[in-house]
Structure 1
Amino acid sequence: MAKKKEILFCDYYEEWVDTYKAGAIEDVTLKKYYMAARHIRNICPKLLMSDFSRRDYQKIMNEYGKTHEKQTAKDFHHHLKAAIRDAYHDGVLSSDPTYRAVIKGKEPAKKKVKFLQKEELTKLLQSLNLSSGINRDWFILLVAKTGMRYAECLGITPADFDWTENTLSINKTWDYKSGSGFSKTKTDSSIRKIKLDWQIIGQFKPLLEKLPATEPIFIEKLEKGMYKREFNSTINNLLLRKCKDLGITEISLHALRHTHASVLLAEGVSIHTISNRLGHADVGVTQSTYAHVLDELQKKDDQKMLSVLMQIA
């Protein structure tokens, strides 16, 4: 019987990604698989599949965990494990080296989410130039009032507005990174309908009436059906300048999404409603992201609770 050709783990993994993932998943996710391939080639460039043991895999995870947070290490493990399980089922490996692997990583740095206070948000919105046609100020207004992600807002068309139900449908994004046009939403849970206030309805309806129903309202169409490239740095720089000129907290566009959620939370809107509005996969994501706001609200609730209890004879 001919001896099986020796193959390096880094080569096997890269070939597996080319075979099973390329063309089957979104480009942004595919890039993560290829990034994992580069890490493998750096960590264990000479590891043969024939020698691959649980100990080898644990050493890989340990090395990766030295420079990455635990959640990132979990994602790395997920990417590697998929290929290794296939190798095991295909008989390339005689056992599964990922079995009972211990995922390690650096402690995550404490990140406080930046956002505007309600008064600062009001100041920002009142400063916007909405006297002319669609511009980037209208973009800032819509994100502030809906909490949409950048790519979601770029993908909005006039047809997405329902003037009868006063809703805005989020069912696609705009692939601004590669310039390939409309793309899928971040996750299935990102597909949603957002309720709009009467002010937004009154502002946007006359603005969009004569625009093509299925063309993105914030992307300039060029000749031959091409579209002008958009970069999130452009809108971020504009927003930062506006905040600086107004003397308010300097934030990015993504922080405007956080502001939207924080203001609603502070006004007593339920965490479940906000989670659905933001398109989070589950309410746990929302609770984790806005833990600092929820802590402050709990302190206020504690005071209310004690005040009520004091009044009970």
Structure 2
Amino acid sequence: MAKKKEVLFCDYFDEWIEIYKVGAIAKITLDKYYNVAKQLRQICPKLFISDFDRREYQRIINEYAKTHEKQTTTDFHHHVKACIKDMFHDRLIDVDPTYKAIIKGKPPVEKKRKFLQKEELTKLLQSLNLSAGINKDWFILLVAKTGMRYAECLGITPFDFDWAENTLSVNKTWDYKGGSGFSKTKTDSSVRRIKLDWQIVGQFKPLIMNLPPNEPIFIEKLEDGMYKREFNSTINNMLLKKCKDLKITEVSLHALRHTHASILLAEGVSIHTISNRLGHADVGVTQSTYAHVLDELQKKDDQKMLAVLMQIA
């Protein structure tokens, strides 16, 4: 590498992606890093590492925040910070410029609720046809009951189920976009074991007992040995129609993952347990994603706390 004075931060960030991220994370996550690199080229194209300090970093964040909401700015900050931490450990900078960075952003646009209430989810699951063998309704149920991502659920095989422990191992995905078959999980932390409930064990187990152990359960294998292409729009449209017919909140398949976590949080399951179950990199990701639920739980905890304190005399 050239002398420290001659290294542009943008160049270092590009090289860092190639060295540490390519081949180590899922394509969808890698694309996010590439997008951050593009943003940095626009915001600080001439910033040398030797000139990098807290004020320069705050300027970068402030500039990005002018056109993005706070949550998006937070995501940008986490991606850039990962690189800067390596810069610090490589001794290219003497201090961490991300220390006490202030995250700003545009006021959030009011969005539709992206999850179902517990009663709505119950209504949806009760409407599923689970007596017709392996079908898309079973796919919806598994996502709702496990919190798996779409590509993760596509990638499960009979071998991934441990019926002695009643767990499902998530250790790969299915490349439904590129058509290359099994692929890596989104991140290393996405590899996990998920506890299963009695409905999955009692009803789903018999359906897959005689299927090829290492073949994807929900993807049809064609006569020529190739696999039928899957599109998330197909199951999303199916789910939206079900929700509309049931007169419940219309959500996408990914919203079932949010529903899964939100309901568990509301029922008192610890955020650390839920974070592991979802395969989040750390509990901070879970906290920011489900802040709306945590705020409601804090209000309930405040009421409980005051009730307890009133009893102390």
Q: What TM-score, normalized by structure 1, do the two folds share? A: 0.77
Could you say which residue in structure 2 is the equivalent of 1:296? 296
Amino acid aligned to 1:255: A
CA distance in 2, matches of 1:44, 1:298: 40
1:188: how far off? Answer: 2.2
Q: How does 1:91-170 map to 2 (within 5 A)?
A: 100=97, 106-107=105-106, 109=108, 114-170=114-170
Cα 1:105–1:237 change in 2 (3 A) is same
2:243 is the alignment partner of 1:219: no
User: Equivalences for 1:1-313 in 2 at 5 Å?
Assistant: 16=15, 20=19, 24-26=23-25, 27-36=27-36, 38-39=38-39, 63-68=63-68, 69=70, 70-74=73-77, 77-78=80-81, 100=97, 106-107=105-106, 109=108, 114-311=114-311
Larger radius of gyration: 1
Displacement of 1:232 in angstroms is 1.7
Q: Which amino acid aligns with 1:247?
A: K
Query: Aligned equivalents of 1:267 and 1:244: distance in 2?
Result: 26
CA distance in 2, matches of 1:138, 1:256: 13
Q: Kindly indicate whether the alpha-carbon contact (under 8 Å) linking 2:261 and 2:274 is maintained by their aligned counterparts in 1.
A: yes
State how far apart, in whole Å, the 1-side matches of 2:215 and 2:66 are: 47
Q: Deviations over 1:76-118 (max 9, x none)?
A: 6458869999xx97xxxxxx7x984878752462767522121
* Shift in alpha-carbon separation, 1:108–1:81, aligned structure 2, 3 A: farther
Secondary structure at 1:225's aligned position in 2?
A: coil
Task: Work out the CA distance in 2 between the residues paired with 1:201 and 1:207.
Answer: 10
How far apart are the structure 2 equivalents of 1:103 and 1:73? 13
Amino acid at match of 2:74: Q
CA displacement at 1:305 relative to structure 2? 3.7
User: How much does 1:293 deviate?
Assistant: 1.7
Helix, strand or coil: the match of 1:245?
Answer: helix
| Partners of 2:154 and 2:216 within 8 A in 1 | yes
Instruction: State the distance in 1 between where 2:139 and 2:131 align.
Output: 14
* Per-residue deviation, 1:268: 2.3
Segments of 5+ residues of structure 1 without an aligned counterpart are: 1-6, 90-95
TM-score, normalised by the number of residues in structure 2: 0.77
Instruction: Tell me the C-alpha RMSD between the 2 structures.
Output: 3.8
- The verdict on how the C-alpha distance between 1:9 and 1:225 changes in structure 2, with shifts beyond 3 A counting, is farther
Q: In the aligned structure 1, how far is the partner of 2:17 from the partner of 2:197?
A: 47
The DSSP-based 3-state class of the residue aligned with 1:169 is strand
Residues 34-82 of structure 1, C-alpha deviations (whole Å, 9 max, x = no match): 434544665678x698xx9669x77776654432353244256458869
Distance change >3 Å, CA 274–CA 84, structure 1 → 2: closer
Q: Is the 8 A contact 2:36 2:80 kept in 1?
A: no
Q: Is the 8 A contact 1:147 1:256 kept in 2?
A: yes
Q: Which residue identity does 1:176 align to in structure 2?
A: Y
> Quick check: 2:29–2:186 contact (8 Å CA) kept in 1?
no
User: Unaligned stretches of 5+ in structure 2?
Assistant: 1-5
Structure 1 CA distance, aligned partners of 2:233 and 2:177? 12
Contact 1:189 1:279 in 2 (8 A): yes
Count of residue pairs the alignment pairs up? 300
The farther-off stretch of 11-20 and 179-188 is: 11-20
Is the 1:112–1:292 Cα contact (8 Å) retained in structure 2? no
Of stretches 261-270 and 73-82 in structure 1, the one that deviates more from structure 2 is: 73-82
Q: 1:212 to 1:77 in 2, by over 3 A?
A: same
Summarize the Cα distance change of 1:14–1:229 in structure 2 as closer, same or farther, 3 Å threshold: farther
